[in-house]
Structure 1
Amino acid sequence: MVHSHDSCAPDLARDLAVTGAVDFRAASAADIATTAPDAETLTAPQRVSPVVAITPLSLPTEVIARSAQVPVVVILGSPVDPEMSALRRELTGAASSAGLRWILAVADTDRFPRLVAAFRPVSMPTVEVVADGTGIAAWTPEDGLGENGVDCADWVSTVVGRVAHRLAGLPPDTLVDDAEAADVRGKPGNGPDAADSVALTSDPRLRQAADLVGSGDPEGAVALYETLLAEYPDLASQQVLQQARVAVDVLVRTKELDQRAVYTTLAGAQRLLDAGDAVTGTASMTLDDLLRTADVLVLDDRPVDAVDLLSGALSNSAAGRPAAECEQLRVRVLDVIRLLEPGASAAERARRRLASALF
């Protein structure tokens, strides 16, 4: 089931204007021509990974220029979205077995929202095939449903087969570098990530961090989590550590609140939530009030309500709040989402609101 979305129509300025030096909302094709590397610069003997993690700065080289040689399959989504994780594992395995006939580019839209603006997906996660600098077709999980649905890997194989012969191809002496594929793969439960995760659970510093929290030193625990995050780069360990750090960050920020302030804040939040007014009712709240209320909700073991409150506020006020405040709200929403169960409806709701507010 090969199809095209509006976002896949040829649009060189859109596809390339994400370098940071050029405003993607105003860039012209002429502007982009001066920033994008020429595909010929990639013809020297080189090591190429079948899977790469992309950023706005690497997009021109890793996706646009590379797609002049072989198709590049871009997967966009949040790393904490279960559908995104499943697709990434499936496509990483397919790319690693493809012998560099195509490249998989993984876009973390939580860290790099400008990648969403570059591709304009109709929903996330989305898989898009780029050939010769242009997005030619896209697949979403909905395309895999029903009697006529098609598996993503099969869809990729079909689309790549249609366009690969039109491209220049990689130099014949290109070598496969699978190190980055291993970093991007993210397979909790088996493989290298599982070993790293086991190593983390046996690290005595996890208990030390818990003891620091218990003794009233959450700041010390956060510093320890930062050290562990740098030492355990695998996906499974990162998810555990980031979730712990987010929870303890809340303790740091609410450390000075007295009991009366906590109860007052909870009562105000409950009035908004009971009225179903988490979107419109937050318009008059200051950023500090919003962030403090979300922290208190998390403190009360209600991260779902905290996510709804913050994402609702962002959805309602993106046009009226300063850009710096919207960015702080976005970052905090993505942090608190880490405290939710995988696939939680509040997380999906928040991602839709984020996409609507920012793009």
Structure 2
Amino acid sequence: MTRPDPRQTAAMSAALSGAVDLSALKARAEAANRAPAPAPGGAAQAAPAQGDGSFVIHVTEEMFQAEVIERSTQVPVIVDLWAEWCEPCKQLSPVLERLAQAANGAWILAKVDVDASPRIAQAFGVQSIPTVVAIAGGQPVEAFAGVQPEPQIKQWLASLLDALRDRLPGIREAEAGAVETEPEPEVEDPRFVAAETAFENGAFEEAATAYQKILDAEPANEQARAALAQVKFLARAEAADPSVVVRADTSPEDIDAQLAAADVELAGQLVEKAFERLLGAIRRTSGADRDRVRTHLVDLFGLFSADDPSVAKARRDLASALY
């Protein structure tokens, strides 16, 4: 199974916790419900609640209170913020829709077109799409941004259901109903299955080769690209000797030590320290050595979502160091 990125999930969840005010959306929805219905031939009605299946709904601002807030008192509602022009959204949304149907109502997928319903995106403080937010009991509880590998999404959802199962009665009811019916077997991409199996067995080189083949055939496949970056990083980090940090601290001119030490620090959740180490090396070097360190730092940026605050700061510092 592809390992989740706890830094990204924790950062987004912390940003959402207690900071999202959905009252404005609630007020707009209640006002819309009190308004008289338009005459035939007048303004268009809101999009129907049921979209791509019984557990996938298309939500507008007027429907948000009933279809998201109220539903979330029974089961989690996973809000998928997307747009028609967003290519990564077109990769993530089908995965979420398939998983929602397979969950048999243990959670509901609410799809929000941010162009049609910009106030919903504003309420969540969304800076990039796709962004996925889990709502429970009327409040956001977890979130992630960007395209994620399917195994990582499954793990995220499983952890969410485990945490909420005793609080939201609809989860157990839906799971009990799923036992009575024979679920359709999930069709998995054999290329990803082979890559993930190699990864689970610690065969990083084999996994990297498998993901690279997918990218060679599908250069726009962000799931394979993200997984390949994770595999390469974990292979380096696990192969590095933890004592290399001391060697790097005492030998700032040793480029190999600086790169390996940054990997060790990043794997140990010392994100800013790893970035600053490489930025310092860039300031001290020139020519091929500087290019090598810069490339390594940019590769590490790719392990995070584009709007991660640590990455944003490091990118600004990188620009200052280079120019």
The alignment's TM-score, normalised by the length of structure 1, stands at 0.37
The alignment's TM-score, normalised by the length of structure 2, stands at 0.40
